A and B are shown apart, each in its own frame.
Chain A
Amino acid sequence: MKASKILTRRKLLTAFAAATTGALSARRAVSLAGPASPARLDQNAELSAADGHGHPMHGMSMNPLVDRFPRRHPDIVLSSPPRTMGRQMGRVVTPGIPPLGYRMDGDVKVFELIAQPVEVVITEPDSVEHRHAPTIPEGHQRFQPRSSQPKTMLAWGYNGNCPGPTLEATEGDRVRIILRNELPEPTSIHWHGFELPFSQDGASGYHPFEARRPVLPGQTEVYEFDLMQSGTLMYHTGFNVMKQEALGLSGAFVIHPRRQERKIDKDFVLVLQQWTFQPGNPNPNINAMEPSFATFNGKTAPSFPQLVVHQGDQVRIRFANLSLLYHPIHIHGHVFEIVGTTGGPIPVSARWRDVTVTIGPGETRDIELDAWNPGTWRLHCHVLHHIMNQMPDQPMGIAPHEGMFTHLKVIPNERGYDPRSPRAPWEYPPKQEGI
C-alpha cells in the first residue's frame, strides 16, 4: 500500500503520456463536432447561461408576414384514399371511421396511409334534439334543449379521415405500412406502444441520435416490423408532434392475440380527442391548453352514432386517448371489467370491475361487458365540460348531448319489450365470473 504511493519516474512518464494523448483526442473531437454542433444536445452538454434561457435562437430570419407553415401545401394535389380503404377485414368497428383493409405481399400485410389535410364534420347542422322537438310534451317546451351548432374542422388526418382508420392485425404478423406525405411539412408515424426495432419507431427528427429523418412533403416512406404483442395500440405523428398530433394525425392499431380468451360479439374502438376553436374558425388552435370540443372518433354527439348491441352480446370497447387530458368514461346500467391496457391484456387475476374507466393521455383501456340490460344507456366522459361543445364558452340554457357522449343501445331480445316503461319486467341475472 505504501509502495504504491511512491511516484516513480516511470509512473510519471506514463501518466504524462496518457494525459497528452487524452488532451489531443479531446481537442480533435471538439474540432470535429464544432462549437454549435447539434451533437451537444445529444451529449447532454450543459446549457448556456446566456439570459437564463438556454441557447439564443437564430430567430425568424424570414418574413413573418408570409405563412411559412400553411395548413395545406399549395402544390400538392391530394390523393384519393387507397383501394383498401373501406374494406372491413378485421373484427373491430370504429364508429364514424371507415375501416382500412390491407393487401398481402407474401407473408406481409401491407397498409397504406396518406397523411393529408382533411375536412371533418364534427357535428351536423340538424341535431337529434331539434328533429325530435315535436315529441316534447305539453309544459316541457321551454325546457327543450338548445340545438347543437354545426361544426366543421380543417384538420390533418390519414386517408381522408381524422382520426385515421383503425389498423387491425394479429399478433405474430409482419406488417408494412406505406406512408405518403401530402402535408405541407415533413411528417412521420410513431407506433405508439409497439415493441419493435428502433429504426421503425417513427419518432423522427434531425438530431443525430434519431434513426430517421421525417418524410418530406410529396414523398413516401415505408415502415415494416413484426407484431410481437397484442392489445389496443395507437399510431400518431412522430415529427413536430405537438402541432401535428393536435391537428389530428393519429389513429388506433388493434393487434388481436393469436388466441381469443372468449368470444366477443361487438368490438368497438373509440379514439378520444380534444380540440380548441376560436368561435367560427374551422382551424383548430393548437396552442391553447383549454380545449373547447371533445370528440369520439372526430365527432361529437349528437352526430356520433350510438353503439348498438343486442341483449346478451359480449361487448368490448377500446378507448384510445390521444387528447391532452384525462377522461373518466362512464357507462350507465352496466358494470364492466377493465381487461387491457396499451401493454396488452391484463391478467385475469388483476382485472377489476368498475363503472368508470379513466384513460390518461397516451393511454388505451379495453373494457368488456355483458350487455344484459336492455335500454339506451348513456356512455360519456364524466368530466362534464367534455360533454358540451364549445364547453362553457357559450350560453348554457338546457344543454343537449354533445362532446364525448353517446349511447350504448342494448336491443332487448323480447319483441315488444319497452325498457322505458316502468311496468316492463326486469330480472337481475346471476353474475358471471369474469364479467
Chain B
Amino acid sequence: MRAKISLGIEILLVLSLGGCVTVQPESHFEAVQTLGQERVQTEIVWSQDAEQVQENFQRASTLAQDGLTRDEAAHIAILNNRSLQAELENLGLAAAELTQAGLLQNPTLEAFVAFPLSVGSSGLGLIGWLSDLWQVPRRKRVAALAARQAEYTAVWHVMLTAYTAAHAWDAVVATRQLLHIEQELLVVRGKAAQRLQIRYGHGLADTTEMEEAVSMQAGQEIAVHEAKQAVTQAVTLLAQTLALENAADFISTHTLETIHFEQQSLQVTLQYAMDNRLDLAIAHAEVERRAKQHELERALIWKTVLFGPRWEGDFEDVAGGENSIGPTLSIELPIFDQNQAWIAASSYQLRQAIRRLEALQRLVAKEVVEHYRGLDRMHAALLILENRLLPSTDTSVNYAQEWNHKMQLPFITVLTEQVHQLEVQRRIVQTRKMLNDTWRMLQLARLGASPHMP
C-alpha cells in the first residue's frame, strides 16, 4: 500500500513538474538583433519593463542634446519608439505560441465508484493523449515557422522605424530650408509686384503683367503657408517617431546634404534583394508553414487517440479482491469527420502562399528596378541642377545686378533672375530629399519589404 502511495506521489510530482515550462523569447530577439543590426547599423533594444523604458528614454534624450544627426535620429527611434517596442512584443507572443505548441495535452484521470461500495466494482484510469505523439511535433514545426516569421516581421519594423526616423529628420531639415527659400521668394515677388506698379505708372507694363505680379505675390504667400505646414508635419513626425518632444529643436543642420552611397550593378542589387528581403523570407516561411499546416491537418484525421492504464475492482478489498489492471485505448473514429475540409483549406492556403511568393518576387523585381533607376536619374538631375543650372542662375543674378547697377537693365530683371535662382535652389533641396528618400526606398527594396506590406 505504501509503495502504491509512493508511486502515486511520484506520478503527481512528474506531472506537476511538467507544468513548469517557461516561455523563452530571448533566442528570437537575438535573431532580430543579428538581422536588424545588419540592416540599420545600430543597436536594437527591447525594453521589457518600465525601468528599461525610462532608461532608454534618458539615453535617447542625452543622445539628442548635442545636435541631432540623421543616424542618431534612427538610433533614438529604435531605443524609444513605442510602436516598435509594441511590435517587439510579438516575439514573446511567438515564443509563447511555440512553447504552447510543444506541450502535451493533459492526461485524464477517470474514476468510477460503485455505491454502495460493497455492492459493485469501481474503476480508476489515467488516460493520456496518444495522438500527441504525431500531432505535437507537427504543431511545433508550424509554430516554429510562425515564430521565424515574427522575427522577420520584427526586423522589418526595426528597419521601418529607423528609416522613418531618417526620413523625418531629412524632412525637417528640407522643409525648414524650403520654408526659408519660400520666404525669400515672397520678399522677391513682393518687390516685383511693387516694381511692376511703378513700371505700370511709366507705361512699361500692361494691366495683366501688373496683376500677374500681384497674383504671384499672393500665390507665394500661400506657398509660405504650405511650407510652414510642411515643417509642422515633419517636426511632428520626427517627435512621434523618436517619441521625443521637441526632437526637431536639437537639429542644428540647416542644409540638407545627400546620403553618400556607392551603388552596385542592377543585377547584383536584384539578386541581393532576392536573397535578403525580409518579406520574401517571410513568404518562403509562409509556404513552408502552410505545408506543415497541411501535414498537421492530415494528422488530425486521427484527432483523438487516448491510451492509459485502467484499474477495476473493489475499493473495499484492493489487496485481496477481484481486481484487474490493464491498458485502455480510446479512439475517435474518423467515420463522419475526416477533417477533409480543413485539409482542403490548408491545401488552398499552401497554394495561395506559393502564388503570393511568386507575386512578391515580381514585386521585388519591380521595386528594385524602379528605385535603382530612380536613384540614377535623380542623381543625374541633381548633378545638372548643382553643376549647371545653379551656376547659370548665379551668373544671371550677378549679371543682372551688375548691369542694373550700371543702369542698363531694369530692376525687374534682377528680381526675375533672383526668382529663377531661388526656384533652382528650391528644386535642388527637393531633389536632394527625393534622392535620399529613393535611396532609403532602394534599401528597403533590397533588405526590407514593400512599404505596402500588411
Shortest Cβ distance from residue B415 to the other chain A in the assembled complex, whole angstroms: 9
Whether A287 lies near B204 (C-beta < 8 A) is: yes
Complex contact A57–B203 (CB within 8 A): no
CB distance from B414 to the nearest CB of A (A): 8
Stretch at the interface among B52-60, B362-370, B400-408: B400-408
CB distance from B273 to the nearest CB of A (A): 57
Q: Is A24 an interface residue (CB 8 A)?
A: no
- Does any Cβ of B come within 8 Å of A53's Cβ? yes
Known: A60-B411, A281-B206. A65 touches B191 (CB 8 A): yes
A107 to B173, CA, bound (A): 84
Query: Within the assembled complex, what's the spacing in Å between the Cα atoms of A279 and B203?
Result: 10
Known contacts: A65-B191, A71-B201. The answer to whether A281 contacts B207 by CB under 8 A is: yes
Mark A192-204 against chain B: 1 for CB-CB distance below 8 A, else 0. Answer: 0000000000000
Give which listed residue, B195, B202, B209, B407, contacts A57 with CB less than 8 A: B407
A281 to B198, CA, bound (A): 12
B206 lies within 8 A of A279 (CB): yes
A280 touches B198 (CB 8 A): no
Give the distance in Å from the alpha carbon of A202 to the alpha carbon of B395 in the complex.
44
Contact B201 A285 (CB under 8 A): no
Report the minimum CB–CB distance from A315 to chain B (whole Å): 36
Tell whether B194 is near chain A: CB-to-CB under 8 Å. yes
Q: B200 at the A/B interface (Cβ < 8 Å)?
A: yes
CB of B23 within 8 A of chain A?
no
Residue of B at shortest CB range from A71?
B201
Q: How far is the CB of B387 from chain A (nearest CB, A)?
A: 27
A414 within 8 A of B: no
In angstroms, Cα B203 to Cα A67, docked, is 13
Q: Are A64 and B195 in contact (CB under 8 A)?
A: yes
Known: A65-B191, A65-B195. A60 touches B405 (CB 8 A): yes
Question: A70: CB under 8 A from chain B?
Answer: yes
Of chain B, the residue at the smallest CB distance from A69 is: B202
Docked CA distance A283–B191 (Å): 21
Interface string of B197-218 (1 = CB under 8 A from A): 0101111111101000000000
Contact B198 A67 (CB under 8 A): yes
Partner of A71, one of B202, B205, B405: B202
A79 at the interface (CB under 8 A from B): no
When chains A and B are docked, how far (Å) is the Cα of A53 from the Cα of B207? 35
Across-interface contacts of B408 in A (CB, < 8 A): 53
Residue A344 at the B interface, CB < 8 A?
Answer: no
B205 touches A64 (CB 8 A): no
Which one of B201, B205, B207, B404 lies within 8 Å of A60 (CB-CB)?
B404
CB pair B203–A59 under 8 Å, yes or no, is no
A-chain residues with CB within 8 Å of residue B194 when the two chains form the complex: 65
Residue pair B204, A285 in contact (C-beta under 8 Å): yes
- Could you say which residues of chain A place their CB within 8 Å of the CB of B200? 278, 281, 283
B191 touches A59 (CB 8 A): no
- Determine if A283 and B405 form an interchain contact, defined as CB atoms under 8 angstroms apart: no
**How distant is the Cα of A57 from the Cα of B198 in the complex, in angstroms?**
23
- Which bucket holds chain B's interface residue count? 10 to 19
| A281-B195 contact given A57-B407, A59-B406, CB 8 Å threshold | no
| A-side interface size class | 20 to 34
A 282-302 contacts with B by CB, 8 A: 283-287
Whether B202 contacts A278 by the Cβ 8 Å rule is no
A65 to B191, CA, bound (A): 7
- Residues of the B chain whose Cβ atoms lie less than 8 Å from the Cβ of A56: 406
A residues in contact with B203, CB < 8 Å: 276-278, 281, 283-286
Total of A-B residue pairs, C-beta within 8 Å = 57
Q: Which of A245-299 contact B (CB under 8 A)?
A: 276-281, 283-287
A432 to B337 Cα, complex, angstroms: 136
Interface centre among A56, A283, A286, A287 (most CB of B within 10 A): A283
Q: Which residues of A contact B191 (CB under 8 A)?
A: 65
A53 touches B204 (CB 8 A): no
Q: Are B195's CB and A278's CB within 8 A? A: no
* CB neighbours of B209 from chain A (8 A): 278
In the complex, the answer to whether A64 meets B411 with C-beta atoms within 8 Å is yes
B191: nearest residue on chain A (CB-CB)? A65
A292-B407 Cα distance, complex, nearest whole Å: 26
Provide the bound-state CA to CA distance between A283 and B195, in Å: 15
**Contact call A285/B406, Cβ cutoff below 8 A:** no
Q: Does B201 contact A278, Cβ atoms closer than 8 Å?
A: no
Residue interface bits A42-66, CB-to-B below 8 A is 1, else 0: 0000000000010011011000110
Across-interface contacts of A283 in B (CB, < 8 A): 200-203
Expressed in whole angstroms, the Cα–Cα distance for A64 and B209 within the complex equals 19
Bound-state CA distance A276–B405 (Å) is: 26
Name which residue of chain A comes closest to B194, CB basis.
A65
User: CB < 8 Å: which of A65, A70, A277, A280 contacts B201?
Assistant: A70
Chain B residues with CB under 8 Å of A69's CB are: 202
Query: Which chain B residues border A70 with CB–CB below 8 Å?
Result: 201
> Could you tell me the distance between the alpha carbons of A280 and B209 in the complex, rounded to whole angstroms?
11
Chain B residues with CB under 8 Å of A285's CB are 202-204
Q: Does A286 contact B404, Cβ atoms closer than 8 Å?
A: no
Do A59 and B195 have beta carbons less than 8 Å apart? no
* B204 CB contacts on chain A under 8 angstroms: 278, 285, 287
User: Which of B201, B205, B207, B407 is within 8 Å of A59, CB to CB?
Assistant: B407
Smallest CB separation, B60 vs chain A (Å): 49
Q: Which residues of B contact A53 (CB under 8 A)?
A: 406, 408
Chain A nearest Cβ from B369, distance in angstroms: 52
Contact of A278 among B205, B404, B406, B411 (CB under 8 A): B205
In the complex, chain A residues whose CB is within 8 Å of the CB of B406: 53, 56-57, 59
Chain B minimum-CB-distance residue to A285: B203
List, in ascending order, chain B residues with CB within 8 A of A67's CB. 198, 201
**A280/B202 in contact, CB under 8 A:** no
In the assembled complex, the CB of B319 is this many whole angstroms from the nearest CB of chain A, namely 119
Chain B contacts for A276, CB-based, 8 A: 203
> In this complex, what residue of A is CB-closest to B209?
A278
CB within 8 Å for A280 and B407 given contacts A65-B191, A67-B198, A70-B201: no
Complex Cα gap A286–B201 (Å): 11
Residue numbers in A under 8 Å from B207 (CB-CB):
278-281
A57 to B403: give the CA distance in the assembly, Å: 10
Closest chain B residue to A61 by CB distance?
B405
Q: Is B405 touching A278 in the complex (CB atoms < 8 A)? A: no
Look across to chain B and name the residue whose beta carbon is closest to the beta carbon of A275.
Answer: B203
CB distance from A53 to the nearest CB of B (A): 7
How does the 8 Å CB contact mask read for A388-417 relative to B, with 1 for contact and 0 for none?
000000000000000000000000000000
The distance in angstroms between the C-alpha atoms of A54 and B203, with both chains bound, is 29
Docked Cα-Cα span, A283 to B194, in Å, equals 17
Can you list 24 contacts pairing A with B, beta carbon distance less than 8 Å?
A: A53-B406, A57-B405, A57-B407, A59-B405, A60-B404, A60-B405, A60-B407, A64-B411, A65-B194, A65-B195, A70-B201, A278-B203, A278-B204, A278-B207, A278-B209, A279-B207, A281-B200, A281-B203, A281-B207, A283-B200, A283-B202, A285-B202, A285-B203, A285-B204
Using CB atoms and an 8 Å cutoff, list the residues of chain A in contact with chain B: 53, 56-57, 59-60, 64-65, 67, 69-71, 276-281, 283-287
CB-CB nearest 3 A-B residue pairs: A278-B206, A59-B405, A285-B203
16 additional A-B residue pairs with CB within 8 Å, beyond A71-B202, A278-B206: A57-B406, A60-B404, A60-B407, A60-B411, A65-B195, A71-B201, A278-B204, A278-B207, A278-B209, A280-B206, A281-B207, A283-B202, A285-B202, A285-B203, A285-B204, A286-B202
Which residue numbers of B lie inside 8 Å of A, CB to CB? 191, 194-195, 198, 200-207, 209, 404-408, 411
